[in-house]
Structure 1
Amino acid sequence: MKRVLQTLAALAVLAGLAGGAVVGLGLYNVSARVGHLQGVSWVLHTTFRNSVRLRAARPAEMPDLSDPALIELGARHYDTACRSCHAAPGEAQSATMAAMVPAPPPIGQAVQGWKPYQLHWIVANGIKMSGMPPWPAQREDDVWPVVAFLSSVQQGMEGADYGTLTRLPDEEAPLAYCLGCHGDGGLAQVPPLNGQGAAYLEMALQAYRGGTRASGIMAQAAREVPPETMGDLARWFAAQPVAPIPPQDMPADLVERGRALVHADTGDPDVPACRACHGPDRSERSAFFPNLAGLPAPYLRTQLGLWRDGRRGGGPQAGLMRKAARHLDDSDIAALVAYYASLPAETGQ
């Protein structure tokens, strides 16, 4: 037994010396031109698939991944953040991307064999040694639009459909880029920006760009806008007439409860009532807070939940909003959402 242990120890020392020589003397050829040793690619790919299956847990709830607005939002993010490596549906990869080791698979191939929650894990966490980064924000709820898009690719989305989803309005950049999601009343999780205060909009853009307000989608989008144009962009949106979006149909009892919460005294001298910052009375709203009237209910629900859970930031109002939201329960949030979403956006009254 002693001899066996001595032999094992000697082998371990030799292995350590060999590994040290490979690292210290640069003996391993890292050139992508020569690729991996025989069998290494199979080992890495098999490890990747098994690792994802082990760690990706099915969530208790998932959004409706067939929602066209969710798919469109995911496609627009993919177009600027992911297309350069994985190409668009039906599109050939560039020669540079195809020559990577390992090469990122074309998107139609990459999504095959995965369940939606596994795709969510991959997008949220990224993959080591592949060039795929993790989601650029500690907020995994806004990964779902990308998963909705990828699920559509799994089901056979064609290049023409992708082109329709990602086509930009006929405006100058960066305005066209922003209008793609925030124009025409916004999307399910995206608020329309017309008529919001310029000071608030510029502050929000700077917060996304600086990382003090978390969103993987907006972190990418804000960096597509040149910093020197943010003020002009904010003022342009602020000057636009609010689109006459019909009020969202909400349960009457929730609307009335929400109305009472919005106008109620909070009992904290440092925290004003909701109406003092967010309206609906135009004369009471603060320039550094958004008008919530008529905003999409899914967006309002997500944002209030983030404030309540202490996961939302951005701008000098962050501390105040965390105080205002920390005692809200799910029923309070549902009532506030119902009230503000039921208001006519074109008047904010």
Structure 2
Amino acid sequence: MEFKPLARFIDRITSWRIPWAEVVVMHRNETVFRYRNGYADLEEKTAIDDSRIFNLYSMTKIMTCTAALQLVEKGAIRLSDPLPDYLPEYAEMTVRKTLPDGEIALEKAERAIAVRDLFTMTAGFSYDLGAPSIREVVQRTNGKVPTREFAAALAKEPLLFEPGTRWNYSLCHDVLAALVEAVDGRRFGAYVKEEITGPLGMLDTSFDLTEEQRSRLAPQYEYNDALGKPVRKDGNGYRIGTEFESGGAGLLSTVSDYVRFLDALTNRGTSPDGVRILSPAGVDLMRTDHLNERTRADFNWEHFAGYGYGLGVRTHISKAGSGSLSPLGEFGWSGAAGCLAIIDPDSQLTVMYAQHLLNNQEPYVHPRLRNIVYACL
């Protein structure tokens, strides 16, 4: 294995527009390469180090789907179960439909949202955190917005389509976190800590930071094209309440911490020291392509060509379509500030890439980084 091309790529993108970047490559549970470059704080010229905490954003979704899959494995829920069995507020949903004359009408949904629809982004939700019912719950709870309250508020909004008929990237996994709470009884963050991060020894992964951890939170940036440089933009716009543990975008972590979780999935659900978070069958169900003829056309992001969508993850289904050097069945997800997970049980390969830049250049960086990694093996 020779990883000089990967180091050169990190150097190139951090001299381009990304303030800092770090990558860890694990093979057969051993770290075979780790490299970082750039500044955690551009103004202070503080070099990036391995203790920095950053926003995972949508890479939270892998953790949320793992938590919910644990409940599937325990027989507490099934993918085919109607969501109203656990969250009664979803019993009477309406769907926004466009009539032949162009007018918008609200009609009663023909079928209930299924648990599967939450995993697979086919429930009919949007990603509109400014919807009237969401604004109302923020005000009514004095800015707390507990996770269950968020889900109850979202149920008041009309769906964009009949459940199960289309794919739309949305707030599905935030509702999935509320489902975990409803079924298990613990707050979602407590469940994650006690069932996943705690057993794996992940001490720096959570929805809320201690004072000491806040001192290690990396500044966040957004590239300003007019100025030709990154500008500071801290905060998580998806964290709309102090008690909202967003299953879709709320976790913070470090590279060292989150790679432990990813490697357990690479290891088909069990960490190198024997902590089991999922069964091999559960991992395989997660990385199975769950798109069908009706939903596949909606999963059309250019940099996901050749990939299907599993239970909260992209999953590689066509080398010809993707042009990727990774094997079929490689899976993972990414986050709004640019982090990336590559989970590959067949190659026994885990990659955790991190940066902290909104408008993150994901379509450029991620496919190239993945191909460089596999070419280096």
Fold conserved (TM > 0.5)?
no
TM-score after normalising by structure 1? 0.25
Q: Which has the higher helix share?
A: 1
Q: Which has the higher contact order (CA 8 A, sep 6+)?
A: 2
Q: Which has the larger radius of gyration?
A: 1
